[in-house]
């Protein structure tokens, strides 16, 4: 009788500090901002700036922001990721482990846990619908680092992106439609994606193309006109040009253009986190209302919604079928 090879799933996301404290945030940011995928400056220039200026100044400030969104069970990103892990395991019947590119639990610990459960094949599912070297490729780098240290490896398969998947667009659309059913429809639906330096896109990163394609597909699915849905990019850092239009600048202009009621969604984030709960639902809300906006509605991320888990299950099934 042919042996059945056990398959496991590695759900990968960016990561989060272990606690909302300055020391924990500093440790997390140090690992995150040391990655060449995230900041590609020469270390001779970058390291003194990072350790001498950025980490000492930003860590206490970012810790306070985390404190404002921290949940009873922990960091929102980790809380929702664990819920996704449990739901996907129940839906697929396969072993599912969480691995974060930075922080805990690590990619290495997730792979080790899957191997200990007898998994000889591992599907790596980075929870980034739109591919970027700064996110998706960074997961691949971590898997490769683990591979270098291990004499025996499972067979790996990677999900590169899934922004074009019907079930992903449907999950986004259902979340918007449910929100509209409860709160009414705003003048515009703004899709705010995490930004990257424009230079990265100029060098070939397809991320902005994937983002604009996501908005277009969502527009068609919801039956909206061009003027009813827009794309912007948030979370820029430093002085160089990032992908535009910028979310904050867009929000500042909208009220003067007659847009008083706004719905905003963050399609690039698979779970709510600091960038959605504090930046979008906090800072961006304030920016829009201070500029003359009247109603600001943040539509939560897909998190562990049934439509999102259905998408994940479909990605697992389609990528492991006949494997």
**CB-CB contact of 139 with 98 (8 Å):** no
Nearest to 256 by CA among 200, 187, 166, 201: 187
Q: What is the pLDDT of residues 206-257, one digit of tens each?
A: 999 999 999 999 999 999 999 999 999 999 988 899 999 999 999 999 999 9
Indicate the annotated binding residues.
Answer: 194, 275
Which tokens hold the place of 61? 């400030």
Could you state, in order of their start, the residue ranges of all structural domains in the chain?
Answer: 7-162+307-320, 166-299
Note whether 7-162+307-320 and 166-299 share their fold.
yes
Band (pLDDT 50/70/90 cuts) for residue 33 is very high
The answer to whether residue 1 scores a pLDDT higher than 70 is no
- Alpha-carbon distance of 231 to 94, in angstroms, equals 36
Q: What is the pLDDT of residue 193?
A: 98
CATH code for residues 7-162+307-320: 3.40.50.1400
- Alpha-carbon distance of 86 to 97, in angstroms, equals 9
Band (pLDDT 50/70/90 cuts) for residue 4 is low
Mean pLDDT across 9-31: 98
Task: Give domain 166-299's CATH architecture.
Answer: 3-Layer(aba) Sandwich (3.40)
pTM over 0.85: yes
Q: What is the mean pLDDT of the chain?
A: 96
Indicate the annotated binding residues for Fe(2+).
Answer: 194, 275
SS (H, E, C) 150-164: CCCCCEEEECCCCCC
The 3-state DSSP class for residue 249 equals helix
- Alpha-carbon distance of 110 to 116, in angstroms, equals 10
The answer to whether residue 3 scores a pLDDT higher than 90 is no
Q: What is the pLDDT of residues 49-105, one digit of tens each?
A: 999 999 999 999 999 999 999 999 999 999 999 999 999 999 999 999 999 999 999
């Amino acid at each position: 009788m042919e042996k059945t090879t056990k398959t496991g799933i590695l759900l990968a996301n960016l990561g989060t500090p272990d606690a909302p404290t300055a020391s924990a945030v500093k440790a997390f940011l140090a690992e995150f901002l040391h990655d060449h995928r995230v900041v590609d400056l020469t270390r001779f220039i970058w390291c003194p700036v990072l350790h001498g200026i950025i980490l000492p100044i930003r860590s206490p400030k970012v810790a306070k922001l985390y404190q404002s969104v921290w949940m009873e069970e922990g960091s929102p990103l980790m809380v929702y990721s664990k819920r996704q892990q449990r739901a996907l395991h129940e839906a697929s019947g396969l072993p599912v482990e969480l691995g974060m590119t930075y922080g805990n639990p690590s990619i290495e610990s997730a792979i080790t846990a899957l191997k200990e459960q007898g998994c000889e094949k591992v599907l790596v599912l980075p929870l980034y619908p739109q591919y970027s070297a700064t996110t998706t490729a960074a997961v691949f780098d971590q898997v490769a680092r683990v591979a270098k240290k291990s004499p025996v490896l499972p067979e790996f398969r990677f999900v590169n992106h899934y922004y074009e998947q019907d079930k992903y667009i449907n999950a986004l659309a259902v979340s918007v439609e449910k929100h509209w059913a409860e709160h009414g429809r705003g003048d515009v639906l703004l899709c705010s994606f995490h930004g990257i330096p424009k230079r990265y896109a100029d060098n070939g990163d397809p991320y902005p193309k994937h983002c604009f394609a996501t908005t277009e597909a969502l527009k068609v699915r919801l039956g909206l006109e061009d003027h009813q849905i827009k794309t912007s990019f948030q979370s820029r850092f430093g002085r160089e040009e990032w992908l535009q239009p910028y979310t904050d600048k867009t929000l500042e202009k909208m009220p003067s253009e007659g847009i008083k009621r706004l719905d905003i969604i963050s399609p690039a984030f698979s779970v709510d986190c600091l960038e959605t709960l504090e930046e979008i639902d906090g800072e961006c809300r304030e920016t829009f209302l201070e500029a003359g906006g009247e109603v600001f509605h943040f539509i939560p991320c897909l998190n562990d919604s049934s439509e999102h888990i259905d998408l994940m299950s479909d990605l697992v099934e389609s990528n492991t079928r006949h494997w």
